[in-house]
Amino acid sequence: MGKRKRTKVEKTSRTVLAGCLMAGLLLPGAAWAETGAAAETQTAPAASAPASEGGSSAVGSLPALVPLREASEQLGAVVIYKSSDRSVSIQWAGRLIRLSHEGITVEAEGQQTAALSAKPTVGSEGRLYLPLDAFRQAFGIQADWSDKDGIEPGANETAARAALFMRQLASGKVQDAGALLDSQLAAVLPPDKLAALPQQIVSAFGPPARLDRVSVEDNGVHVNAKLSYTSKLKAPFAIEIRFNHDGEIDDLYIPSTPEAGYAAPDYDDPSAYAEEQVTVGEGTFALPGTLTIPASGEPSAVAVLVHGSGPEDRDESIGAAKTFRDLAVGLAKEGIATIRYEKRTREHTMQSATPDLTVNEETIDDALLAAEKVRSDPRFAGKPVVVIGHSQGAMLVPRLLNQDKDKAVDAAVLMAGPAEPLEDLMLTQYENAVDRAVAAGQPDEVVSQLKQQAEAWKMTLGVIKNEAYTADDYPANLRIPNARWWFDFRNYNGPEIARTQSVPLFILQGANDVQVDASNLDGWKSALAGRADVQYELYPKLNHLFVPSDQPSTGAEYFVPGNVPLQVSEDIASWIGKLPKK
């Protein structure tokens, strides 16, 4: 029988998966006595028997067989042998596969999904085997097996390929793992950096012990596999592995904190709007986004939502809050369309983490691309295009307007926008954290650590503020992460730039904001006192995420479910409705 031609992805897969064995560092599988199961199954020849066509192991005249533990652990599964009843349990990505003398059952998310008629076989060397078709059914994937290359998930088996990549890293198979990367990511993550990734994960979260769940989503730019683990410290850990549409890994993202149970607001009426998946920009840094349009199909305006600092997603998910999602559905209720998108440092985390990253590349370029996208959409012809920036996104609005050469933006809303340079605000935040810790009676070691952080930032601040230094020339003994970004941003003062601009502004502030306190609103008012086209609003209980909190904000309440009040969207819509007609 002639062999079919392999695709480019399959050829790459066969090359890079060679030699993946059971060695466990990051995801250790429990040792289990395979020989103990021999009494329950018939004996078969060892794994060194001749391979069948396609490279799969064959034992005697039986169909292609897979060494169960080895193949399972290559996918990051935990294999447990229970001596009391001589059964085997395999835990993988929300699946529980049980093998006993009664047969094979498969549960997914706690519900039995299959009972397989296949019987496991024990080789003469004591290894437990399963027919390849049964292995595929048990794991719910299409995959091949060969003694040379190990487990080979199909080109479209994103979940299994992602799990295999993690296992390769954990097992020290850096060359094999690196061969799964596309050329752009491989340039950013050479072997030494890739090899360091498992230890960085262990240092931050503890050794991951079990792969609990894998979810896969195609967002139009990447096919994302999100792998959720439980560590040996019982701490959750997740990683998003981003594949391009050729099946190569294009980027990685590790959330620093888990999401904490967001609940949609009571004013969220799905019948009041429609959502479209869109792409902002093109090429290497294209961004997936969501366009939310009122159900009427005739919005009165369209808003571009611009993120705060950090690698934010399109919803601005922080803890249990999703500030931008709440705004999108709230504004849709008021007849205003919105476009929101993944931030570049979120969707292209590793590839954007270069020494040359600037504020423009992180925020402004993509915001202007989004504004131009909706401006050119015939459905919004003649409608105002309004930028709504939050936190860092708000303070950068004046710079964005200066760079809006095509005049795509008609008005802007600033939410919790700092009125002072960001580097100065950070020192204020560090010092306030010390004061709060002292007032709360925190242990001396906690207060001491916070003081050290404040002093360290003072030293960094002295370098950033020194006009004699640049990103290419500053003291070598003081390393500044993202130095070019900081020197690009230094002494930036949004209110001073906005003083001479003429685009109408609506500046909102929460009075219970621990990150950007209400004094910043006064800073904007003072600088813009000479402008008649600026409106201000202070909300008594709202924190930095524009979620109400009855207690003074500390940031801890971010992990308590809450929503942006509809009043905020109503106020924005009312202000937009009063803008001069085009």
Q: What is the rounded distance in angstroms from the CA atom of residue 492 to the CA atom of residue 485?
A: 12
Whether residue 148 is found in the same domain as residue 289: no
DSSP state of 378: G
**Chosen domain end from 484, 503, 536:** 484
- Quick check: 489 pLDDT over 60? yes
pLDDT at 109: 75
pLDDT at 478: 67
Please state the rounded mean pLDDT for residues 58-71: 70
Whether residue 510 is found in the same domain as residue 363: yes
Residue 582 located in a structural domain: no
DSSP 335-376: TEEEEEE--HHHHTHHHH-STT--HIIIIIHHHHHHHHHHHT
**Tokens describing residue 87:** 């059964």
Whether residue 415 is found in the same domain as residue 452: no
Centre a 10 Å sphere on the Cβ of residue 389 and count the other Cβ atoms it contains: 26
pLDDT at 24: 20
Q: Quick check: helix, strand or coil at residue 150? A: strand
Whether residue 512 is found in the same domain as residue 544: yes
- Please write down the long-range contacts of 229-235, taking CB distance under 8 Å and 24 or more positions apart: 229/27, 231/205, 231/206, 231/207, 232/206, 232/207, 232/208, 233/205, 233/206, 233/207, 235/205, 235/206
- Quick check: 215 pLDDT over 90? yes
Whether residue 276 is found in the same domain as residue 410: yes
Whether residue 557 is found in the same domain as residue 451: no
Q: What is the rounded distance in angstroms from the CA atom of residue 14 to the CA atom of residue 114?
A: 30
Q: Which helix (H) or strand (E) holds 273?
A: strand 273-280
- Quick check: 31 pLDDT over 90? no
Whether residue 331 is found in the same domain as residue 372: yes
Whether residue 542 is found in the same domain as residue 448: no
pLDDT tens-digit map of 224-235: 999 999 887 777
Chain centroid to CA 75: 22
DSSP state of 473: B
- The residue to which tokens 């466990």 are assigned: 24
Whether residue 296 is found in the same domain as residue 371: yes
566 φ, ψ (degrees, to nearest 5): -60, -30
3-state secondary structure 448-464: HHHHHHHHHHHHHHHHH
Q: What is the rounded distance in angstroms from the CA atom of residue 478 to the CA atom of residue 353?
A: 19
Asked if 280 and 289 count as a contact pair (C-beta separation under 8 A), the reply is: yes
Nearest to 35 by CA among 136, 123, 114: 123
Q: What is the mean pLDDT of the chain?
A: 86
pLDDT at 233: 79
Q: What is the rounded distance in angstroms from the CA atom of residue 380 to the CA atom of residue 410?
A: 13
Rounded to the nearest 10 degrees, how much is the dihedral formed by the CA atoms of 531, 537, 543, 549? 170
Q: Total structural domains in the chain?
A: 4
Residue 259 located in a structural domain: no
Contacts of 460 (CB under 8 A, 6+ apart): 478, 480
**Tokens describing residue 364:** 């402004």
**Tokens describing residue 209:** 């012990």
Asked if 400 and 367 count as a contact pair (C-beta separation under 8 A), the reply is: yes
**Chosen domain end from 123, 153, 183:** 153
Of residues 449 and 3, the one with the higher pLDDT is 449
Nearest to 43 by CA among 146, 132, 120: 120
CATH number at residue 228: 3.10.450.590
Residue 63: which pLDDT band, with cuts at 50, 70 and 90? low
Q: What is the rounded distance in angstroms from the CA atom of residue 524 to the CA atom of residue 509?
A: 11
Question: pTM for this structure?
Answer: 0.84
Residue 522 located in a structural domain: yes
Chain centroid to CA 263: 19
Q: Quick check: helix, strand or coil at residue 567? A: helix
Q: What is the rounded distance in angstroms from the CA atom of residue 254 to the CA atom of residue 198?
A: 12
Share of the chain above pLDDT 90, in %: 70
- The residue to which tokens 């090359």 are assigned: 15
Q: Which helix (H) or strand (E) holds 330?
A: helix 323-333
Residue 495: which pLDDT band, with cuts at 50, 70 and 90? very high
pLDDT tens-digit map of 138-196: 999 999 998 888 899 988 899 999 999 999 999 899 999 999 999 999 999 999 999 99
Whether residue 473 is found in the same domain as residue 512: no
**Tokens describing residue 311:** 């690698």
Residue 61: which pLDDT band, with cuts at 50, 70 and 90? very low
**Tokens describing residue 18:** 């060679």
pLDDT at 191: 95
Please state the rounded mean pLDDT for residues 15-31: 23
CATH number at residue 348: 3.40.50.1820
Q: What is the rounded distance in angstroms from the CA atom of residue 20 to the CA atom of residue 153?
A: 13
CA distances from 153 to 105, 158, 180, 343, 366 (A): 22, 8, 12, 31, 36
Residue 101: which pLDDT band, with cuts at 50, 70 and 90? confident
Whether residue 195 is found in the same domain as residue 311: no
Domain interval for residue 430: 424-484
Asked if 551 and 557 count as a contact pair (C-beta separation under 8 A), the reply is: yes
Residue 86 located in a structural domain: yes
Whether residue 336 is found in the same domain as residue 370: yes
Which residues share a beta bridge with 128?
A: 122
Asked if 197 and 107 count as a contact pair (C-beta separation under 8 A), the reply is: no
End-to-end Cα distance, the chain:
71
